[in-house]
Amino acid sequence: MKTIAIIGGGFSGTLTAVNLSRMSDQPLRVVIINAKRPLGRGTAYGTSRPEHLLNVAARNMSALPDFPTHFFDWLRTRVEFNDMPDKELREMFAPRRVYGDYLRGLLATVLNPIDTRCQVHVETINDEAVDIAIDDHDHATVLLKSGESVEADQVLLATGVQPPSSFPSDAPLGHDSRYCADPWADLQSKLPPPGRRIVLLGTGLTMVDVVLTLGKLGWEGKIVAVSRNGMLPKSHFRGIAYEDYIPENAESLGLHGLIQLIEKHCDRLRQMSQNPAIAVDKLRPHTQRLWQSFSKEEKLEFRGKYAARWNVTRHRIAVAIHDAITDALDCGRLKVVAGSIEKLAPNEQNIEVLLRDADGAEFSQSGDLVVNCTGVQSRFSKAGLPLFDNLLRKELVCSDELDMGLLVNDDFAVIGGDGQPSQVLYAMGPLLLGQLWETIAVPELRGQAMRVAENMLEREPVAVEEADVIEYYI
């Protein structure tokens, strides 16, 4: 019987297993290897905190592209939403732990199928994959940290969001209780007494989660959030139906032409007293295609000059969450500081964060606790992940030209060091950030999980109507 190993049991790995299970008409064994984050839930939906909400409305969060209302229909089965009218439920930003329940429930249906005709056997292993060996007959052996191994005919790399980057430090911080390298794992146990100061490294979505949790826990003290640009995620809003203004030949515009076009539509929306983010949302169905048409220099320019603005505009937060952050700023509980983080300097009293402002001047912020809320490593090949260090060394994979992740072909088969697509290895999700740019949120990942399953099973793709991925509500 053919075996497919899936490394990573977050949204991407789970949904690929679900799709393999519902699409395969041949006997098949699927082994999900997952470590560190909760199985089925992964990084984003593994939180147990009720204040951590989805940043996409329920109507857009179906895990299955061919059943666009699947998540909404599932929410309807939950008693706590009985009294909520359909319209409100569709626009709701559900708690992420509830979405985790949805994914875990989907996984349960394939681990223990009630349809006795199902020919797919799915099993899970709680272990870290550290290497893959591929023999001359294209047979793979996935080596696990425990010393065990899994034999497979095909392997999907669905390892998701990389751990945040670390910072230079005057002293090792690994065992320093005043440093929290992983806010998802050990924030609460490290909180300083009330009245002290917490410095958050990063001003993005993870920082927002941490500020909300500190509020919910009733922690009283000052919070300082620092990032290079000091930009905070913007809020969702009520928008308008707006024209699809991206021309079919938009690739020929190049980065500068495209920016001009977007700015023109942002201005037009402002003149109409509408939110210019509508113009950015309209790009979404075209983003991967346009990103791939850019030269390396254009991609670098976009990342350096526009990515921060893009991120806060594209990855917006629920209005209620934005209000809570604004309140924290207004009452002085939270302060946002712009500066590049140079290094961390632990001393007897606290940890000093040494920063440099836009004019090159040095300054610092000290915290009784410093929490790393930054995003992924800027260089994938230097992230120090054992699995990828081994795969890169053996040239079974290669990193993209910006070194943000891996390269795949149109079928999601991994491109090796020889430039050829692998017959065995596939990859999806945030690992493809450098190649696709827009490959993080559920509206993109659900389509990938289906395409990857179809490709691994060598099936013709099922035609799926593009779901509505516009983020504002009308």
Q: Which residues bind ligand FAD (CB under 6 A)?
A: 7-13, 33-37, 42-44, 54-56, 128-129, 158-161, 205, 387, 429-430, 440-442
Q: In angstroms, rounded to a whole number, what is the distance separating the alpha carbons of residues 35 and 124?
A: 10
**How many CA atoms are closer than 13 Å to the CA of 110, on its beta-carbon side?**
28
- 355 or 391, CB closer to ligand FAD? 391
Q: How far is the CB of 147 from ligand FAD (least distance, A)?
A: 14
Minimum distance, C-beta of residue 259 to ligand FAD, in the bound complex (Å):
25
Least distance CB 407 / ligand FAD (angstroms): 17
Nearest Cα to 162, choosing from 376, 11, 438?
Answer: 376
Q: Which is nearer to ligand FAD, 144 or 269 (CB)?
A: 144
- In this structure, the dihedral spanned by the alpha carbons of residues 140, 145, 147 and 151, taken in order and rounded to 10 degrees, is -20
Q: Of 12 and 422, which has the nearer Cβ to ligand FAD?
A: 12
- Give the residue with the Cβ less far from ligand FAD, 37 or 59: 37
The nearest distance, CB 351 to ligand FAD, in angstroms, is: 24
Give which of 232, 345, 318, 327 is closest to 60, Cα–Cα: 318
Residues 6+ apart with CB under 8 A from 159: 7, 8, 385, 387, 388, 429, 431
Over its C-alpha atoms, the chain yields an Rg (Å, rounded) of: 23
Listed residue (14, 7, 122, 108) closest to 449, CA to CA: 14
CA-CA distances (angstroms) from residue 353 to 198, 203, 263, 340, 369? 11, 15, 36, 10, 11
User: How many residues in the chain?
Assistant: 474
Q: Tell me the closest approach of the beta carbon of residue 267 to ligand FAD, in angstroms.
A: 29
Nearer to ligand FAD, 12 or 21 (CB): 12
Nearest to 165 by CA among 380, 405, 402: 380
CB nearer to ligand FAD: pick between 255 and 449: 449
* In the complex, minimum distance from the CB of residue 46 to ligand FAD, in angstroms, rounded to a whole number: 7
**Least spacing, CB of residue 357 vs ligand FAD, in Å:** 28
Nearer to ligand FAD by Cβ, of 7 and 413: the residue is 7
Alpha helices by DSSP H, 247-385: 254-271, 277-281, 287-293, 296-301, 307-314, 319-330
Beta carbon nearer to ligand FAD, 405 or 429: 429
Contact between residue 5 and residue 146 where contact means Cβ atoms under 8 Å apart: no
The smaller minimum CB distance to ligand FAD, of residues 269 and 440, is found at 440
Is residue 369 within a helix (H) or strand (E), and if so which, with residue range?
strand 369-372
Shortest Å, Cβ 347 to ligand FAD: 31
The amino acid that residue 442 corresponds to is V
Longest distance between any two alpha carbons in the chain, whole Å: 68
Least distance from C-beta 209 to ligand FAD, angstroms?
Answer: 6
